[in-house]
Chains A and B, each alone.
Chain A
Amino acid sequence: MFQWKKLGRVFNPLEVKNKSWLKEFAQAPATLIFDDFVRVYFSCRPSRDSNGQYVSYTAFVDLDRNNLLNIIQFSESPILQLGNLGAFDEFGTYPTSVIRAGKDVLAYYGGWTRCESVPYNVVIGLAKSTDDGVTFNKMGSGPVISYSLDEPMTVSGPKIRRFNDQWYLWYVSGNKWKMVDGRPESIFKIRMAKSEDGIHWAKENRNLIENVLEEDECQASPDVLLYQNKYHMFFSYKHSSNFRNTSRGYRIGYAYSTNMTNWVRDDSKAGIEISSGDAWDSQSIAYPHVFELEGNVYMMYLGNEVGRYGFGLAVLEKYEN
């Protein structure tokens, strides 16, 4: 059983001035720890374009290591450019997950394209930074993890980890588009792949986490922490229909594993809920990211409308096996 204490909102994108590429949303926080600050990558959006559509960029804020609610620096510009005409990431880079590899930093990100019959499709790209994560260059113009026989669409939400020299990627894959009131909604489940080098991946090709809400439950943002000899996965989940701004929206779920193969879901142990009243996280909480810093375990997460109003921080107060 986990018990998290909310420390407050780290960052509200609506308060940022003079950055045309950062007008709305701060989604999918992912940390990279430095000696005297914590860099948090997130995805953000300029205002809608003339067709009323968004693109998304990834940027970062640096937080004071001694006070994670204190922002000491913003990135000057997005860390990654959008893809060229026709590329998988032409219209968005969201979400992004980072990891150190020797002196480099690698970023795995969801690249977004626009489709005719459905609004979008996503596959996962890979980029490398040689300047401590300030700017990244793509390792190719195509994706590092793409569609496959039973992962036909929406291959997204990468979370990169390395345990005992084995690379792991948790991510989601769509299994269908469901028509709800004439609008296609993506149904996606949590998946995993393994790699020896971070570039060549072998997919497990199965859903890791059982459903609790419905067969078409959507599961996202599977972030895994090795803590007290167990692998703990926090993720978010929601209903497949009528989930916008309602009690059917995202909540944070939990599963654990001792062997990375079998995952036992037990949301009652997640230990974090929506806030009451009209708080920024009173309607939904989503996209958990867990990390350790100086003996503490922290969770960053999104509040209402999947990060439209930024992300917050919680600290682990209590853990009982």
Chain B
Amino acid sequence: MKWLKIGKIFDPTHHLLSNNCKEFAQSPQVLLFNDFVRVYFSTRERDSMGKYLSHIAYADFDKQFSKVIDIANKPIMKLGNLGCYDEHGIFPLNVLRAKGKLFGYIGGWNRRISVSVDGSIGVALSEDNGLTYRRLGDGPVITSSLNEPFLVGDPFVQCYENIFHMWYIFGTTWKRFSAEAPPDRVYKIGHAISRDGIVWEKNKDGRQIVSNSLGEDESQALPTVIKIGNRYHMFFCYRQSFDFRKNKNRGYRIGYVFSDDLQNWIRDDANVGIDVSQGEWDSDMLCYPHVFEMDGEVCLMYNGNEFGRFGFGLAKLEK
């Protein structure tokens, strides 16, 4: 693979966002229309305690991504109810048109005491072309299980040959890597399938489908998959599990695996074809990739430094 970086295309600090959000446009997720592109992203509000709440917003672009032609001026969906899996944040909202419906898969976050958060995946439907989404229930559709104990999140769904496939992450460990630091988490990528997009079955509980390249404590996040020809290509981000926020050598990079059968994935980061750019908005970190095809071109959106505090960018596949 070889990607041509187009550059940063959206900066949240240049726009007036709903829910009193000022910074962060994380995990861009695309919904294509005939004459424009809607990009959902997670942005953040500070609550009364000074902690972040992640909300979903969108920006509509022209198909050349040369300008923002509209922006969500009201909430797409409220955060979850008191005590629910998505009470304190939605990150990401992965959207998919399939079988006559517009699905929104919710990566929901809720706060814990001994560790910072937990997460599960829920589902919502939109009946107004993606302006708003309504949950099918207060609870999740994919969550913890015997061998996936916590932190189920980062849904990405595609429908191939009438079967829904979800790639997502599950936590394996909460670990205190140093005495002073709060606990950090380790998570891996899993796979589930469904006939209707609502009732899911894990493709083996606890099966990690992407091998580690940084060892057991590698965290792998936000898988995104595209089929080109007969081959499935997955991009994701990966990092060390501690000292990854400020240390650019331990932070997120984009990784790559491919598969011909949706079962076995071969890791090949050397061929991912995209890396950090010195002196740029993405000089220290690359994360939260989203791959899609539009008008014959394969495109990749992603976040750069500080996990997307100042927006997301675009790259196009050269070869």
User: Which A residues lie at the B interface, using CB under 8 A?
Assistant: 84-88, 90-91, 113-118, 121, 123, 126, 139-144, 146-153, 174-177, 179, 184, 186, 199
Which residues from A are CB-within-8-Å of B139? 147-153
CB within 8 Å of A: which B56-87 residues = 81-85, 87
A174–B174 Cα gap in the complex (Å)?
26
B87 and A123 form a contact (CB under 8 A): no
29 chain-A/chain-B pairs, Cβ below 8 angstroms: A85-B174, A86-B151, A86-B185, A87-B150, A114-B113, A115-B112, A116-B88, A117-B111, A118-B82, A121-B83, A126-B146, A140-B205, A140-B206, A141-B146, A142-B144, A144-B146, A147-B143, A148-B139, A148-B143, A149-B136, A150-B138, A152-B83, A152-B85, A152-B139, A174-B83, A175-B138, A176-B82, A177-B81, A199-B146
Contact of A177 among B83, B118, B149 (CB under 8 A): B83
Kindly state whether residue B134 has any CB partner on chain A within 8 Å: no
CB A295 to nearest CB in B, in angstroms, measures 39
CB A38 to nearest CB in B, in angstroms, measures 30
CB B15 to nearest CB in A, in angstroms, measures 29
Instruction: Across the interface, name the chain B residue whose C-beta is closest to A85.
Output: B174
Kindly state whether residue B120 has any CB partner on chain A within 8 Å: yes
Contact of B145 among A87, A143, A152, A174 (CB under 8 A): A143
Which residues from B are CB-within-8-Å of A143? 144-146, 149
B150 and A88 form a contact (CB under 8 A): yes
* Contacts A148-B139, A152-B84; A140 near B146 (Cβ below 8 A): yes
Kindly state whether residue B28 has any CB partner on chain A within 8 Å: no
A152 and B138 form a contact (CB under 8 A): yes
B84 and A114 form a contact (CB under 8 A): no
CB B283 to nearest CB in A, in angstroms, measures 33
Q: A85-B176, A142-B147, A142-B149 are in contact. List 7 more A-B contacts (CB 8 A).
A: A84-B174, A86-B151, A116-B110, A141-B146, A146-B145, A147-B120, A153-B139
B138 and A142 form a contact (CB under 8 A): no
A175–B82 Cα gap in the complex (Å)?
11
A117 and B87 form a contact (CB under 8 A): yes
A114–B112 Cα gap in the complex (Å)?
6
Kindly state whether residue B197 has any CB partner on chain A within 8 Å: no
A90–B146 Cα gap in the complex (Å)?
15
User: Which B residues lie at the A interface, using CB under 8 A?
Assistant: 81-85, 87-88, 110-115, 118, 120, 122-123, 136-141, 143-151, 171, 174-176, 183, 185, 198, 205-206
Task: Kindly name the residue among A86, A141, A151 whose own CB sees the greatest number of chain B CB atoms within 10 A.
Answer: A86
A117–B82 Cα gap in the complex (Å)?
7
Instruction: Across the interface, name the chain A residue whose C-beta is closest to B111.
Output: A116
CB B69 to nearest CB in A, in angstroms, measures 36
A86 and B137 form a contact (CB under 8 A): no
CB B83 to nearest CB in A, in angstroms, measures 4
CB B47 to nearest CB in A, in angstroms, measures 10
Instruction: Across the interface, name the chain B residue whose C-beta is closest to A115.
Output: B112
Closest 8 A/B residue pairs (Cβ): A140-B146, A86-B174, A152-B139, A142-B149, A149-B137, A116-B111, A114-B113, A152-B138
Which residues from B are CB-within-8-Å of A91? 114
Which residues from A are CB-within-8-Å of B140? 147-149, 152
A151–B185 Cα gap in the complex (Å)?
26
B149 and A88 form a contact (CB under 8 A): yes
A146–B206 Cα gap in the complex (Å)?
15
CB B90 to nearest CB in A, in angstroms, measures 15
B148 and A142 form a contact (CB under 8 A): yes
A258–B137 Cα gap in the complex (Å)?
31
A220–B198 Cα gap in the complex (Å)?
29
Which residues from B are CB-within-8-Å of A148? 137, 139-141, 143
A179–B81 Cα gap in the complex (Å)?
12
B82 and A177 form a contact (CB under 8 A): yes
A151–B139 Cα gap in the complex (Å)?
6
A126–B176 Cα gap in the complex (Å)?
26
Instruction: Across the interface, name the chain B residue whose C-beta is closest to A153.
Output: B83
Contact of B137 among A87, A118, A139, A150 (CB under 8 A): A150
Instruction: Across the interface, name the chain B residue whose C-beta is closest to A155.
Output: B139
Task: Kindly name the residue among B114, B146, B198 whose own CB sees the greatest number of chain A CB atoms within 10 A.
Answer: B146
